[in-house]
Structure 1
Amino acid sequence: MEKREKFSSRLGFILISAGCAIGLGNVWRFPYITGKYGGGAFVLMYLFFLVILGLPIVVMELSVGRGSQKSSAMSFNALEPAGSKWHVFRYFSMAGNYLLMMFYTTIGGWMLAYFVKMLKGDFEGADTAQVEGVFTALTSDRNGMLFWMVLISVAALLICSMGLQKGVELITKVMMSSLLVIMIVLVIRAVTLPNAADGLKFYLLPDFGKMEEAGIKEAVFAAMGQAFFTLSVGVGSLAIFGSYIGKERSLAGEAVSITALDTFVAVVAGLVIFPACFAFDLNPGEGPGLVFVTLPNVFREMPGGRVWGSLFFLFMTFAALSTIVAVFQNIIQFARDLWDWPLRRSVIVNGVLLILLSIPCVLGMTDWSSFTIGGKNIMDIEDFIVSNNLLPLGSMVYLLFCVTRYGWGWDNFLKEANAGAGMKFPSGRGVRFYLTFILPLIVFVIFIQGYISMIMK
């Protein structure tokens, strides 16, 4: 068996783990729900939930990865007590990573397509209806969507085929550094637009009245849900990176760095979106409409908008591609851990499978658009299975595995999490009680709430 690769630097590990967590939800959902639920007041609540909900599970997932030196395909086998069945979770973990990529590569393809469209000047001289028409045309063009989906998938597979250090780590470092620089440049441009101050006030000033208006309960669930889902915990997509690092640094500190970077991108995205939308009197909605209709309209009005729009969609492409590379790397490592496959074989076999399995998502918007379940098309169904089922239930598995004596156990988890220099994971009796009895209950409530929201729609 070939020797397992390691990251060449701590920065590489933090940027790649953050790259996995930083995705499209940071840009098209976080700013919108922040504006809706009271600006700065919501951000404070979100940060609180991030610390008490998301962070502990990030530390646990990283600990299981580092403790086993395996991806989630084999990590539970290495750590579970003899005779227990925790390893069965690997099938759910693998399914979760595959399902996520079955729709995420299509959205990543849209970002790449829009970067090229902006660069070519496709939006210059277009009116609002024509801008909307561009997105409608893209999402009803089967062959076009397949082309962009395959292109971004092949790019990610090529990066993974170059190995951990020379491919995944090196290129993600470049992408993530560029992403952060582009964001700062876009913020400077956005906040210097006319009327930008109104957008900043709407976004950042705590407004408890607005929170009350939208409903305190709804705001709390929105903050909990966003804090929980933003970090992509639960399907082993972070555990893999834990398996590539040594024990020089404790994991609580590393988890804080990853979470801080993820939050930074989410908050800064709002600093671009709200001033820009307020400057041109456009409503910053949520979801694809914000990114593909509202913002191209903003760039169309803005002096030098073609350049700013191209930069924005380059940033969005990097955000999507960094997640795709991270999850592909996890999927490729599954086969290597399970069957001892060489890198090349795992890349080719998984690459073909991933592209084939991503085709139904595209067809679900075109040839198979009449196929829906409960009003959801194929993309929405895949998203619902991952986000509302596999992520919360997977998080519950990691949580219980680390805190109960029927799993890896509290002492083993703490020893692994706290090995090395840096911030230690708290070991007090109150923390243990919270993690054993209260946090699983909260995760379960988030899981149930996903179904309630779906039924109430």
Structure 2
Amino acid sequence: MNKRESFSSRWGFICACIGSAVGMGNIWMFPTRVSLYGGGSFLIPYFLFVILIGSTGVIGEMSFGRAAKSGPIDAFGIACEKRGRRKSGEALGMIPVIGSLAMAIGYTVVMGWILKYAVGTFTGATLEPENVEAFGAKFGQMASAFGNNLWQIIALAACMLILMLGVGSGIEKANKVMMPIFFALFVILGIYVAFQPGASAGYHYIFRIDPKAFSDPATWIFALGQAFFSLSVAGNGTLIYGSYLSDEEDIPASAGRVAFFDTIAAILAALVIIPAMATTGAQLNQGGPGLLFIFLPNLIKTMPGGPVIAIIFFVAVLLAGMTSLINLYEAPIATVQEKLHLSRVPACGVIAVVGVIVSLVIQGIVSQWMDVLSVYICPLGAGLAGIMFFWVCGKKYVEAQVNLGREKDYRASFYTICKYVYVPVCFIVLILGIALGGIG
């Protein structure tokens, strides 16, 4: 049996986990949520939910993966083995793995868009449209069925090349380069925007507290959804990265750092986008792809030094998206390695073929594709992982795994909070998502 790959350093693991968490949700959704749900009044419940999920679910999935030294299928199977139901556990473990692959395929389409725009900032093509209607028409053409084949395939190929290099030489090294650059670029953008006339109105809005917002259930519901999906608890990516950890790693400390830097990334995005919109007097009420590919390019074009700002912005977005894409593809690749007994390169090849074919086919319906996954599969995968680790494995096992590598035992209330608060929260997210058409 081949020795399991592992991260070579604590910083490399943390960068990889930050990379998995920092993605489009931080950039095209978080600023919009802050704008729509009361600015600072949204931030307070968001911070509370980040602390809750970061100190429970993220730790749980990392610890579960390290304990099993495998992906979700074997981890779920191991959890159920003592009850004589390993096959049932493995079958349930397929849900987050398939979800991860499906999410990666949808994300591949988005990465094709981002890559095209990033390259276009250097050639001038990205800022070429004359007005917001022209930007919208350009994006609509690109986002139609088979509208962006070449760039999409290039984005997927770049991701797979990194994954083929392995955990230490590929995933870890790529994240150790891309994540610091991402943060540096957004800090540069933040400083630039701060000196633009009218930006102060954006800062005032971000940090103002409106007591009425606290009484609005939507503020709390969407803060929960934002925190839940931003921290990437879905029973796959965080779990599989945890499986590459050594027993010396202090998982609660690492989870805290991941939650902290993910939150910093989201705040940085808000500090760039909301004040930038404020400089033109525009309100940020449009999230998702429309913000990133229509409204922001139209805004950047009018700003001093717009072409340079566009380069910095879209390169930063490309880095954030690529690190998330790497994480999403890793769980299915690791599963193919484990179940088909393939080495990494052939396993990447198998998944790449599936990724290319399906991502090309779904280009015209990718929004609906991602909605189904975020509403149903992601919270279900997180809930199942939580049940397996906290309910099936039991308190003694959980505490032993979480405290492995720590000088001092983690807080005594951890298991109880995870079992009776975090796991139900996963299913609350599922129910609210179904009822409201998605909260992530």
TM-score by length of 2: 0.94
Contact 2:171 2:326 in 1 (8 A): yes
**Partner of residue 21, structure 1:** 21
The question of 1:131 aligning with 2:135 is answered yes
Contact 1:31 1:266 in 2 (8 A): yes
The question of 1:437 aligning with 2:440 is answered no
Q: CA deviation at 1:234?
A: 1.9
Give the partner amino acid of 2:189: L
Unaligned runs of 5+ in 2: none
Instruction: Report the Cα distance in structure 2 between the residues aligned to 1:111 and 1:91, rounded to whole angstroms.
Output: 30
Summarize deviations over 1:202-230 as a string: whole Å, max 9, x none. Answer: 11222224x16xx6111111111111111
Instruction: Report the Cα distance in structure 1 between the residues aligned to 2:59 and 2:400, rounded to whole angstroms.
Output: 12
The question of 1:449 aligning with 2:432 is answered yes
**Partner of residue 383, structure 2:** 396
Contact 2:376 2:434 in 1 (8 A): no
Contact 1:7 1:164 in 2 (8 A): yes
Please give the secondary structure, in 2, of the residue aligned with 1:194: coil
Q: CA deviation at 1:424?
A: 4.8
Please give the secondary structure, in 1, of the residue aligned with 2:406: coil
Summarize deviations over 1:177-219 as a string: whole Å, max 9, x none. Answer: 110110111100111111111011111222224x16xx61111
Instruction: Report the Cα distance in structure 2 between the residues aligned to 1:288 and 1:445, rounded to whole angstroms.
Output: 26
Match of 2:196 among 185, 193, 203: 193
Give the partner amino acid of 1:6: S
Contact 2:73 2:93 in 1 (8 A): yes
Aligned-residue sequence identity (percent) comes to 27
**Partner of residue 259, structure 2:** 259
Q: CA deviation at 1:2?
A: 1.8
Equivalent residues in 2 for 1:259-338 (5 A)? Answer: 259-284=259-284, 285-338=286-339
Q: CA deviation at 1:438?
A: 3.5
Number of residues of Structure 1 aligned to a counterpart in Structure 2: 434
Residues 423, 170 of structure 1: CA spacing in aligned structure 2 closer, same or farther, 3 A cutoff? farther
Instruction: Report the Cα distance in structure 1 between the residues aligned to 2:278 and 2:420, rounded to whole angstroms.
Output: 45
**Partner of residue 2, structure 1:** 2
**Partner of residue 427, structure 1:** 412
The question of 1:411 aligning with 2:404 is answered no
Give the partner amino acid of 1:417: V
Residues 8, 440 of structure 1: CA spacing in aligned structure 2 closer, same or farther, 3 A cutoff? closer
Instruction: Report the Cα distance in structure 2 between the residues aligned to 1:3 and 1:125, rounded to whole angstroms.
Output: 53
Residues 168, 53 of structure 1: CA spacing in aligned structure 2 closer, same or farther, 3 A cutoff? closer
Instruction: Report the Cα distance in structure 2 between the residues aligned to 1:9 and 1:303, rounded to whole angstroms.
Output: 42
The question of 1:97 aligning with 2:124 is answered no
Summarize deviations over 1:250-295 as a string: whole Å, max 9, x none. Answer: 2111111111111111111000001111112222221111111111
Contact 1:39 1:203 in 2 (8 A): yes
Give the partner amino acid of 1:208: P
Q: CA deviation at 1:423?
A: 7.3
Instruction: Report the Cα distance in structure 2 between the residues aligned to 1:164 and 1:441, rounded to whole angstroms.
Output: 33
**Partner of residue 71, structure 1:** 71
Give the partner amino acid of 1:179: F
Equivalent residues in 2 for 1:227-266 (5 A)? Answer: 227-266=227-266
Contact 1:252 1:424 in 2 (8 A): no
**Partner of residue 45, structure 2:** 45
Q: CA deviation at 1:133?
A: 2.6
Instruction: Report the Cα distance in structure 2 between the residues aligned to 1:7 and 1:138, rounded to whole angstroms.
Output: 38
- Which has the larger displacement, 324-333 or 418-427? 418-427
Please give the secondary structure, in 1, of the residue aligned with 2:202: helix
Please give the secondary structure, in 2, of the residue aligned with 1:206: coil
Contact 2:6 2:168 in 1 (8 A): yes
Instruction: Report the Cα distance in structure 2 between the residues aligned to 1:312 and 1:380, rounded to whole angstroms.
Output: 23
Give the partner amino acid of 1:383: M
Contact 1:16 1:172 in 2 (8 A): yes
Contact 1:96 1:390 in 2 (8 A): yes
Q: CA deviation at 1:66?
A: 0.4
Contact 2:336 2:347 in 1 (8 A): yes
- Which has the larger displacement, 105-114 or 441-450? 441-450
Please give the secondary structure, in 2, of the residue aligned with 1:296: helix
Please give the secondary structure, in 1, of the residue aligned with 2:117: helix
Unaligned runs of 5+ in 1: 366-377
Instruction: Report the Cα distance in structure 1 between the residues aligned to 2:118 and 2:321, rounded to whole angstroms.
Output: 12
Contact 1:250 1:423 in 2 (8 A): no
Residues 36, 390 of structure 1: CA spacing in aligned structure 2 closer, same or farther, 3 A cutoff? same
**Partner of residue 155, structure 1:** 158
Instruction: Report the Cα distance in structure 2 between the residues aligned to 1:433 and 1:17, rounded to whole angstroms.
Output: 25
Give the partner amino acid of 1:450: G
Instruction: Report the Cα distance in structure 2 between the residues aligned to 1:191 and 1:395, rounded to whole angstroms.
Output: 38
Instruction: Report the Cα distance in structure 2 between the residues aligned to 1:290 and 1:47, rounded to whole angstroms.
Output: 24
Give the partner amino acid of 2:396: D
Residues 424, 294 of structure 1: CA spacing in aligned structure 2 closer, same or farther, 3 A cutoff? farther
Give the partner amino acid of 1:341: L
**Partner of residue 205, structure 2:** 202
Q: CA deviation at 1:433?
A: 3.7
The question of 1:385 aligning with 2:372 is answered yes
Instruction: Report the Cα distance in structure 2 between the residues aligned to 1:327 and 1:423, rounded to whole angstroms.
Output: 33
Contact 1:74 1:338 in 2 (8 A): no
Residues 198, 137 of structure 1: CA spacing in aligned structure 2 closer, same or farther, 3 A cutoff? same
Instruction: Report the Cα distance in structure 2 between the residues aligned to 1:227 and 1:455, rounded to whole angstroms.
Output: 13
Contact 1:6 1:245 in 2 (8 A): yes
Please give the secondary structure, in 2, of the residue aligned with 1:73: helix
Contact 2:54 2:255 in 1 (8 A): no
Q: CA deviation at 1:20?
A: 0.9
The question of 1:114 aligning with 2:117 is answered yes
Instruction: Report the Cα distance in structure 1 between the residues aligned to 2:104 and 2:233, rounded to whole angstroms.
Output: 15
Root-mean-square deviation (Å) = 1.9
Instruction: Report the Cα distance in structure 2 between the residues aligned to 1:333 and 1:443, rounded to whole angstroms.
Output: 25
**Partner of residue 375, structure 1:** none
Instruction: Report the Cα distance in structure 1 between the residues aligned to 2:59 and 2:138, rounded to whole angstroms.
Output: 42
